[in-house]
Structure 1
């Protein structure tokens, strides 16, 4: 089954174009890494993990607005920042434990 659409050319004249109705592809899967970003918020690298959470929420917002490339890019940024936040948090915890237990007097 076909439907007609009215299009205008660069000169301003209009013409009709026959466009077939196609089955739309499903959108690509959402990869916003929201759970990872929320887990990263428990690490003691506070400014960094909040940035990961913001990127993740922006990724979800872009996805639901139909900007799939922007959503993928922001989701990837959320992943990288969340992983960096977790690594920095583990380093802070490890260093603070080492300092605490090596300066302890018996």
Structure 2
């Protein structure tokens, strides 16, 4: 091949625009699923060690996503979802038990 001669696939005229498939040239980012709002909502429940773990998982998921580790972000996001849901269920059970004990009549 001589200097200054481009291969046929790389030649294009100045007025011609090439239509490239964006999926073949760039990696498509999956949507961010860190469940940060759910984790923050679970912090209102009285299951404190569990809901703080959910918040940490959610923040780690966001950090992994922005660093380009999409598989790790997905895994940590699922962990954040499961721990946040467990925290909400545990918190509701604690509230129900406290309400039952508080409003139960005491017989002496």
TM-score (norm 1): 0.76
44, 47, 65: which one aligns with 2:46: 44
Higher relative contact order by CA 8 Å / sep ≥ 6: 1 or 2?
A: 2
RMSD over aligned Cα atoms:
1.8
In structure 1, stretches of 5+ residues that fail to align are: 3-21
SS in 2 for 1:103: coil
Structure (1/2) with the larger strand percentage = 1
- Gaps of at least 5 residues in structure 2 are 1-8, 11-23
More helix by share: 2
SS of aligned partner of 2:25: coil
- Equivalence for 1:95: 97
| TM score, norm. by length of structure 2 | 0.75
Regions of 4+ moved over 6 Å: none
SS at match of 1:99: helix
Which structure would you say has the larger Rg? 2
Aligned length: 87
